[in-house]
Amino acid sequence: MTTIPPLPTALQTRAHEIGRRYPRDFVWGAATAAPQIEGSTDADGRTPSIWDTFARVPGAVADGDTLDHADEHYFRWRDDIALMSELGLDAYRFSIAWPRIVPTVDSPANRSGLDFYDRLVDELLSRGIEPFATLYHWDLPQWQQDRGGWADRSVAHRFAEYATRVAERLGDRVHKWMTLNEPWVYVFLGHLDGVHAPGIRSEEHAVRAMHHSLLAHGLGTQALRAVLPSDGRIGIALSMSPAEPATPTPHDGAAADRFDLYRNWLFLHPIMRGEYHPGTSELFRAEIPIEDGDLDVISHPIDFVGINYYSRGVVRADDSIPVMRARETPPPGVVTAMGWEVHPQGIADIIAQTHERYAPAAIYVTENGSAWDDEVTDEGAVFDTGRVDYLTAHLTAAATCLEGGIPLRGYFAWSLLDNFEWAEGYRKRFGIVHVDYPTQRRTVKQSGAVYRSVALAHETEV
Ligand code: IFM
């Protein structure tokens, strides 16, 4: 019996029309991250990550939620992959939990941790779903935090060693790799604003964490390249948000330029060009701890850029805000449960800007999605109209990039499942599949059915 809810004809037709605007070999996927779904935080030798620690700080996470159970994916993974198959997915983007693979600073690779991902990859492949692996999605081992975390240069070398261990085990079957997920978010929300793990508020720490993340990316890329077969493809997933000034004044125009550099190009520019963006020195008072040769490592060639897009920023100048000296204004129009504006044109704009500036060989949308206050009806259905509208509008907008000849190769919906939304805990639901946390029951939402129809559009008769 299928778990996919039936769609009204008009919605199905719309989904097919959207799907047919994309080429047959376009990759349709969904994304998750280990700390947000796995649970089993002390199983098989895993040790705490900085998010396990942070979630226990009173007031750090809404409702005092922790990562302990999450979606119980660590032992429900086989059923979750069956669900991906029903959803017609070509690919699954997941992350590997560093503290499962390297539980202590000097431990050898933890075989049980690697075994989990080994089985996951084999099951995906047996269902014809391509694995896209992210090495770091914010779960820094606590043992590294105890040695200075991202602010200490040792982290970059330890990341490369971890990358080698994982690639040696999975590289024969996983061909698409991402080093880091959204370094801007964990660096600045975690080390400047203090609202994410490890909860530090220091510009100096943030600048050090930024540089060491770039170095980790470069050393990690080199480590992967040394192990992967020639068809291995390496990239990075970056959070991106096109900028617009709130008013046409020069002040707000300059604020939008700072936001644009800070949020979009701070990491990508050195990776693609081998130098920090010239505007970087105007953002920070703290010194960037660059050593000889770092920028050559950081700009080791990559094969694709992953864009995580959710919304744009409409900004005005505000000198009281550290670093950016700009503030986002309350968005006009419809906002999601996160308070983020629904702005579909932004996905096309940021893909086009990335292509124009750096022309990477391939671009993937590695995350795009929206949170809404979903409810399951008595009949067991989830009519998530807000998410359906968001999804179809963003896919319609992104399709225009293909017409412009941009090498957009795939799209990953965030997220496959409702999950642990960091400081928001389990309150905010991004899944195309609903999770009832007490029972762990999965229910495909209407958006999941729409996404399936988009993904299978070329295989469907009209
Ligand atoms: O849940 C996060 C994800 O971990 C990283 N990108 C943004 C998502 C929604 O906030």
**Residue 2 domain flag:** no
**Res 460: pLDDT:** 80
Question: What's the mean pLDDT in 60-88?
Answer: 98
CATH number at residue 190: 3.20.20.80
Percent over 90 (pLDDT), the chain: 98
Whether 442 and 78 have beta carbons less than 8 Å apart is answered as: no
**Res 244: pLDDT:** 96
Report the DSSP beta bridge partners of residue 176: 132, 233
* Domain boundaries, position 133: 9-459
- For the CA of 36, the closest atom of ligand 1 is 4
pLDDT of residue 1 exceeding 80, the answer is no
pLDDT of residue 49 exceeding 80, the answer is yes
DSSP characters for 332-393? Answer: SS-B-TTS-B--THHHHHHHHHHHHHH--S-EEEEEE---B-----TTS----HHHHHHHHH
The single-letter DSSP state of residue 3 is: -
The alpha carbons of the chain give a radius of gyration, in whole angstroms, of 21
pLDDT of residue 461 exceeding 70, the answer is no
**Res 332: pLDDT:** 80
* CA–CA gap between residue 389 and residue 399 (Å, rounded): 15
**Residue 43 domain flag:** yes
pLDDT of residue 84 exceeding 80, the answer is yes
In this structure, the strands spanning 313-317 and 326-328 are antiparallel
CA of 397 from ligand 1 middle (Å) equals 21
Give the closest residue (by CA) to ligand 1 atom 10: 421
Segment holding 31, helix H or strand E: strand 27-31
- The reported pTM is 0.98
Q: Does the N-terminal peptide bond of residue 198 adopt cis geometry, omega within 30 degrees of 0?
A: yes
Query: 3-class SS at 138?
Result: coil
Query: 3-class SS at 2?
Result: coil
- pLDDT band for 462, please (50, 70, 90 cuts): low
CA of 421 from ligand 1 middle (Å) equals 7
Domain count, the chain: 1
Question: What's the mean pLDDT in 418-447?
Answer: 98
**Res 2: pLDDT:** 62
Q: Which of 93, 184, 308, 340 for a ligand 1 pocket mutation test, highest count of atoms within 8 Å of Cβ?
A: 308
185-213 pLDDT, tens digit each: 999 999 999 999 999 999 999 999 999 99
Give the closest residue (by CA) to ligand 1 atom 9: 421
Give the closest residue (by CA) to ligand 1 atom 2: 421
H helices of 171-260, where?
183-184, 190-191, 203-227, 250-260
* CA–CA gap between residue 102 and residue 72 (Å, rounded): 21
Q: Is the CB of 214 under 6 A from ligand 1?
A: no
Q: Which of 368, 430, 432, 435 for a ligand 1 pocket mutation test, highest count of atoms within 8 Å of Cβ?
A: 430
Q: Is the CB of 26 under 6 A from ligand 1?
A: no
Query: Which one has a higher pLDDT value, 333 or 296?
Result: 296
**Res 212: pLDDT:** 99
Q: Is the CB of 139 under 6 A from ligand 1?
A: no
- Tell me how far the alpha carbon of residue 447 is from its chain's centroid: 19
CA of 98 from ligand 1 middle (Å) equals 18
**Residue 4 domain flag:** no
Q: Is the CB of 240 under 6 A from ligand 1?
A: no
462: which residues sit within 8 A by CB, 6+ positions away? 16
Question: What's the mean pLDDT in 125-140?
Answer: 99
* CA–CA gap between residue 430 and residue 418 (Å, rounded): 5
Active site amino acids: 182, 367
